[in-house]
């Protein structure tokens, strides 16, 4: 009889621990960490189709986004989807894409994460004519600019649409690592 009672108590404690672990994991997943799958080639070579990544969803509540970071957001033209792009310019800066290079306030970008790529002059916003990014808005581009729907086409991303910063590729295992 004693063994039966100990087994029931142990089983109850095990389920109680499992329940609290689930609640804590759900809380962390909801407020702190995001999980995303890359569906297109718009961020190649940084991110490839099928990559699964984790994001920091509270960082932009603590500080402002920085140029060069890979951000996850809801695009203004389709707020039901999540997009992943590289942040190029913030509010108050002037952007120009010309002859494959990105210029911010008239100066070419020298950040190796950005300047090592050729950016195609396709689209309306900031292509061949300089455009100023309004305050609390951001200009984003895909690393694979020939195959990317980004700020060149649909304009700026509002601050309220930012979800988080892409941090880590966890799948497939051979691509595992931090996102640069």
Average pLDDT over all residues of the chain:
88
Within a domain: residue 68?
yes
Q: Which of 8, 9, 85, 149 is catalytic?
A: 85
- Give which of 64, 63, 40 is closest to 51, Cα–Cα: 40
Q: What is the mean pLDDT of residues 140-160?
A: 93
Report the distance separating Cα 62 and Cα 59, nearest Å. Answer: 5
Respond yes or no: is residue 17 known to be catalytic. no
Q: What is the mean pLDDT of residues 160-180?
A: 93
pLDDT confidence bin for 28, thresholds 50/70/90: low
Q: What is the mean pLDDT of residues 105-127?
A: 84
pLDDT at 31: 62
pTM of the complete model: 0.84
Residue 54 sits in which domain range? 32-93+133-178
pLDDT at 30: 63
Residue 1 DSSP label: -
List CB contacts of 129: < 8 A, sequence separation 6 or more: 96
Report the distance separating Cα 36 and Cα 39, nearest Å. Answer: 9
Q: Which of 17, 37, 42, 180 is catalytic?
A: 42
Sign of CA dihedral 141, 37, 160, 168: negative
Report the distance separating Cα 87 and Cα 67, nearest Å. Answer: 5
Residue 55 region by backbone torsions, left for phi larger than 0, else alpha for psi between -120 and 50, else beta = beta
pLDDT in tens, 29-52: 666 778 899 999 999 999 999 999
Greatest pairwise CA separation for the chain in angstroms: 83
Q: Do residues 36 and 55 make contact, with C-beta atoms less than 8 angstroms apart?
A: yes
Within a domain: residue 125?
no
- pLDDT above 80 (res 23): no
The total domain count for the chain is 1
pLDDT at 106: 93
Respond yes or no: is residue 85 known to be catalytic. yes
Within a domain: residue 6?
no
What share of the chain in percent tops pLDDT 90?
A: 62
Within a domain: residue 122?
no
């Amino acid at each position: 009889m004693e063994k039966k009672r100990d087994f029931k108590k142990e089983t109850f404690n095990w389920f109680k621990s499992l329940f609290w672990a689930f609640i804590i994991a759900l809380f962390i997943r909801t407020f702190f960490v995001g999980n995303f799958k890359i569906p297109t080639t718009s961020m190649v070579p940084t991110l490839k189709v099928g990559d699964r990544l984790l994001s920091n969803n509270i960082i932009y509540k603590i500080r402002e986004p920085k140029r060069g970071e890979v951000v996850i957001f809801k695009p203004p033209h389709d707020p039901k989807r999540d997009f992943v792009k590289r942040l190029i310019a913030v509010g108050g800066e002037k952007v120009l894409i010309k002859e494959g290079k990105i210029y911010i306030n008239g100066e070419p970008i020298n950040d190796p994460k950005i300047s090592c790529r050729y950016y195609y002059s396709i689209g309306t916003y900031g292509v061949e004519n300089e455009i100023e990014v309004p305050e609390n808005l951001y200009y984003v581009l895909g690393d694979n600019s020939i195959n990317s729907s980004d700020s060149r086409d649909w304009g700026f991303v509002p601050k309220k649409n930012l979800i988080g910063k892409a941090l880590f590729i966890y799948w497939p295992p051979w691509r595992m690592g931090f996102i640069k």
